[in-house]
Structure 1
C-alpha cells in the first residue's frame, strides 16, 4: 500500500484528479469515523471537516511530501481544523454572553455581528502592523490552520524561524489588545488565536 500511496501522491502533486479520487476513497471513511468520535458523533461537523480537509489537500497538493505518511498528514489537518472550529465557537459564545451581560441593548444579532466584526477588524489592523514575514506566518497559522512545519515548507524557512515569528506576532498583538480592551477581550483573543 505504501508504494501505491506514494505513486498516488506523486500523481496528485502533478494535478491528477483520478489520484485525488483514489486517495479520497482510501481515506475519507477512516477520517470521517475519527472525526465522528472526537466531535461527539456530530454528522454535520464530520462531513464538513472531511470536505475541508480534502479541499485543502487539493489546494496544497504540490506541497505534499510523498515520503511522509499521508494518513498522518490528513489527520493533522483534521485535528487543526477541529481545534480552530472549537476555538471560534468558544469565542463567539463568550463574546455573545459578554455583550448580553454588559449591555442589554445589544440583543439583536445585527448589533452583535457589528461588535464581533469590529473586534475582528481591530485584530486584522494589528496583524497589518506586524513585519511582513510575521504577518505571513501568523495568517497561515491562525487563519488558515497550517502547522509550523507546513508554514516552514511553504515559506521556505526553518521551523524555528516560524516559531520565533509566530511568538513575536502573538506577543505584539497580545500587548496591543491589553492596552485597549478589558480582561474579557483578552480571554477572547487567547481562545480565538
Structure 2
C-alpha cells in the first residue's frame, strides 16, 4: 500500500516524538557531545522527509538509525579532517617560527664571526675568510696568495683558535 506524503510525514513526526531521545542518545554516545547529537538527529528527520514513498512502518526505525549512523561517521570524518588541518597549520607555524629563529641565530653567529675576524691580522683574516666563505683548501689558498701551504695551515690554525676563543667569550 502506497503512502501519501502527508501520511508519511505524520508517521515520521510520530516516530520523531517516540524515538527522539533514543536517537539522540545513540548519536551523543558516538560524538561525545549532546548538542551535536541533537543537531544531528534533527538533520536525520529532515533528511527522512525527503525520502518520499520509501519509508514505511517496518523500515522507519532501521532507516532512521542508518541515516544517523552515516551522519555520525560523516561528522567524525570531518572532525578528524579538521583536526589534521589544524595540526598541519600548527606545524607550519612552528616550522616558520623555527626557521625565523634559526635565521636569527645564523645572522648573530655570522656577525660574531665577522667581528672576531676583524680582530685578526690582515693575513690571517684573509686566509680564514677564503677557507670559511669560499670553501678553499689550504693548497688553493697558498697557490692564490703565492705562499707556502705550511704558512696557510699555520695562519688557519691561529685564526680558528682566536675566533673560537672570541666566540666562546661572546656566548
Q: TM-score range by the shorter chain?
A: 0.3 to 0.5
TM, length-normalised to structure 2: 0.47
TM, length-normalised to structure 1: 0.42
Structure exhibiting the larger radius of gyration computed from Cα positions: 2
Higher relative contact order (CA 8 A, sep 6+): 1
